[in-house]
Chain A
């Protein structure tokens, strides 16, 4: 293994720590806009990782994927979400059902759990344990945000974090999928966020609130 590859691998490994920090901050965030900024930062870290991979592997495709992440996840989606937040003119509170301390505690537990979960796979497949754990932690964190925050926009945030986890998993295990597939996934994601934004406005117009825990007309 060459020196540059080693350096890239080190950079990848330490970036897992930054990802964990964004997760913990997201758990303690009280305002939706803070979460959006954190998501953007998280995506930027992932873009840096992909750039490291691209540099080490000298692959043009990975550069393209990094560019996609920067355009879609660092800029476009946060911009879209900020526009929605501004036009909604609603309160910015995330309406968490757990307190800030509890959320941070649960998030830390989830991170720990993901380390235990990946340990057997990381050994047999000779993969980077920290990054694989970060991927699983992002998945779990996304799910946790979706169930514990009541605002419709926070569910979108949870989904985006979950999606980041899947991207990271693909990146660490296979150094990315074929480019056409990646482009398709990003396109779907962008359209998904766009549509969910549309539905957020509709929920506000028809229900006059954005608390999805109160959407309980349809049961049984």
Chain B
């Protein structure tokens, strides 16, 4: 029941919100549904923490890894919904562009994300990941401008083709399992596959083939270079709360799918092959994204490339493997989500007050928008991995894992890229923040909810930088048990 509720609440919310003609009512319904969903997530995480694994029927399942990622969704969903109260004042009227459509599609998106995390079957997992694309494509094209329509189309086509490759990989794994004597009916079930994994070694080539296709397929959705072309467009053109959702929830969701396959592959044929592939994708993403960040002109595109970079860092963490690398990688998914959400929220405020995201045209932010600027500074210090913020800890862990495993090449690559990112952000932001008080076209007054989300993000970042709470660390350990 706990798990069914997680799916039921957003689904019903998506339908209910649609019936609310008045926008104030729609907001109220959305907030209460959001609160219910977050409570349901907290309940589910708590249950998994004490029970280990929850299973409902054949297709719904939650273990430690699920619980960890569910917590991530819960935190970001709460932040995004609260932020959207202030943000929605700016949504212009038009086809599809009204609060009720916005919330309805958002809840549909949440429904599909929940389905990804809860599916016990790799085929089901594929179906759900594909439906996240379908559910969010309309959100990316929400504004119906030229840029938004183009970004939505590109997102839909590129991700659908990419994900099709993942289906091919899933079929190859299924074939390998069936050939090794697993019952065809359950050959895609996670638990059955994990039990059978040590015996899959005979179909070595097939498993390698499967992992390559899955890595390319889900990698498209994660935004690995060179399959990242949809990502900056979609992040830049989507409404800001959705950009935050894409970056902080959706990318992790695809990463979760890849992690599941990586675990099975490692169990079947040893971790060498899959981890090397992850290191290559990760290294490539980190380097290319860091270099591209230097030349960006649009604030949200800059943040999108930063997401690619961080997904690369996470892939490197997983690729290095071992308890330290994996722990760092998982911790980094959470830290990155919070920091990136904070930065997208400030970017949304900038957009509404300056009427543009072109960084060239933004000056004197520190004087005209002091609180937003403070948020941006905190976010960027966190995102480049400065102490005392959480990302410092997780990046340090991954670097330590690299050095202790004598992977000097990847360690140096990572350090150089991080310095380039630091320089790029410093270069862009000092131009935006400094200067005389700019005459802001539309004076934006921050509402209490804006302050609330920004301070919660900051508090979380500092908290995880100083000391990881015991309860959280325990949950992380539970997630690691699933992966090893």
Contact = CB atoms under 8 A, between A and B. Distances in A.
Interface of A: 121, 124-125, 139, 143, 146, 152, 155, 159, 162-163, 166, 169-170, 173-174, 177-178, 180-181, 184-185, 187-188, 191-192, 195-196, 198-199, 202-203, 206-207, 212, 215, 217-218, 220
Contacts of A177: 123, 171, 174, 188
Given A159-B164, A166-B167, 11 more contacts: A159-B157, A169-B171, A170-B171, A178-B184, A180-B59, A180-B123, A203-B149, A215-B154, A217-B147, A217-B150, A218-B150
Contacts of B138: 195, 198
Contacts of A217: 146-147, 150
A155 B296 CA distance: 29
A203 B236 contact: no
A155 B164 CA distance: 14
Given A192-B130, A195-B134, A181 B168 contact: no
A124 B145 CA distance: 53
B233 interface: yes
Nearest to B296: A220
B146 A207 contact: yes
Contacts of B39: none
A85 B188 CA distance: 39
29 contacts: A139-B168, A143-B161, A146-B161, A159-B161, A170-B171, A174-B184, A177-B123, A177-B171, A177-B174, A178-B123, A178-B184, A180-B124, A184-B127, A187-B127, A192-B156, A195-B137, A195-B138, A195-B156, A198-B138, A199-B156, A202-B149, A203-B149, A206-B145, A206-B149, A207-B146, A218-B151, A218-B154, A218-B232, A220-B296
B478 interface: no
- Place the interface of chain B in its size category: 35 or more
A196 B157 contact: yes
Top 3 nearest A-B pairs by Cβ distance? Answer: A181-B123, A184-B127, A218-B233
Nearest to A155: B157
Nearest to B133: A192
A161 B154 CA distance: 18
A120 B167 CA distance: 22
A206 B232 CA distance: 21
Contact of B167 (A125, A178, A185, A212): A185
B144 A174 contact: no
Contacts of B221: none
Interface in B304-328: none
Contact of B149 (A159, A173, A199): A199
A194 B232 CA distance: 25
Contacts of B123: 177-178, 180-181, 184-185
B49 interface: no
B391 to A, nearest CB: 26
A181 to B, nearest CB: 4
A192 B149 contact: no
B178 interface: yes
B161 A206 contact: no
B175 A174 contact: yes
Contacts of A218: 147, 150-151, 154, 232-233, 236-237
A192 B153 CA distance: 11
Contacts of A173: 171-172, 175
B188 A181 contact: yes
Interface in B79-137: 121, 123-124, 126-127, 130-131, 134, 137
A124 B205 contact: yes
A169 B185 CA distance: 18
Contacts of B184: 174, 178
A60 to B, nearest CB: 13
B141 A202 contact: yes
B160 interface: yes
B179 interface: yes
Nearest to B177: A174
B154 A181 contact: no
Contacts of B151: 218
Nearest to B203: A125
B301 interface: yes
Interface in B194-235: 205-206, 232-233
A196 B156 contact: yes
A215 B150 contact: yes
Contact of B160 (A152, A159, A181, A184): A159
B152 interface: yes
B18 to A, nearest CB: 17
Contacts of B471: none
B295 interface: yes
A187 B112 CA distance: 14
Nearest to B155: A199
Contacts of A207: 146, 149
A162 B161 contact: yes
B188 A215 contact: no
A147 to B, nearest CB: 10
B287 to A, nearest CB: 17
B217 to A, nearest CB: 11
Nearest to A171: B171
Contacts of A198: 138
Q: Which of A152, A199, A212, A220 has the most CB of B within 10 A?
A: A199
A143 B141 CA distance: 24
A207 B50 CA distance: 55
B134 A191 contact: yes
A157 to B, nearest CB: 12
A143 B161 CA distance: 9
Given A146-B161, A188-B127, A195-B134, A169 B295 contact: no
